[in-house]
Amino acid sequence: MELEHFTDGHLMYPIGIDDYEKQSKSNTDIKSIILDASSISNNERDRQLTIISSDLHIESIYILGKAPNPGGEWSEFLKQFPKTQMFFDNEKELAVRWALDISFEYRRMAMNHKRNRNESMAQQCMQRCLDLYKRLKIADEPN
């Protein structure tokens, strides 16, 4: 599975901060980011997370790489970077979790639109949810 294709460009590889800021400002519809921190130092990861976390439109950050040690180090990390959803050392597991979280969010939004009698938006959100579920099914099929 090619993670960048599966996530519709929500994947951010370690790039220069100027490039990130340009990409971020040009697409404020992106609410979640996947940061590939598998080949950078913890200091560089934290530097990039600080910059990404400061963007108000980013609500969640998924990280490909090694998680901090459980216990005190992990709780301190989450206090510093509360938008962090989870660490993964496997691209496929990360993509599946991201897709499940985002599809659930679309489903929740569809239900809210339906309650507010906005059938058109409810259908659009539900369709996005179903599209992600279909991608998951295809991703799970053997090559």
Asked if pLDDT for residue 9 goes beyond 70, the answer is no
Read off the tokens for 14: 């370690």
pLDDT, one tens digit per residue, over 78-127 is: 899 999 998 998 888 888 888 888 889 889 999 999 999 999 999 999 99
Write down the pLDDT at residue 140: 63
Asked if pLDDT for residue 36 goes beyond 60, the answer is yes
Q: Can you tell me the distance from the alpha carbon of 14 to that of 73, in angstroms, rounded to the nearest whole number?
A: 23
Three-state secondary-structure class, residue 125: helix
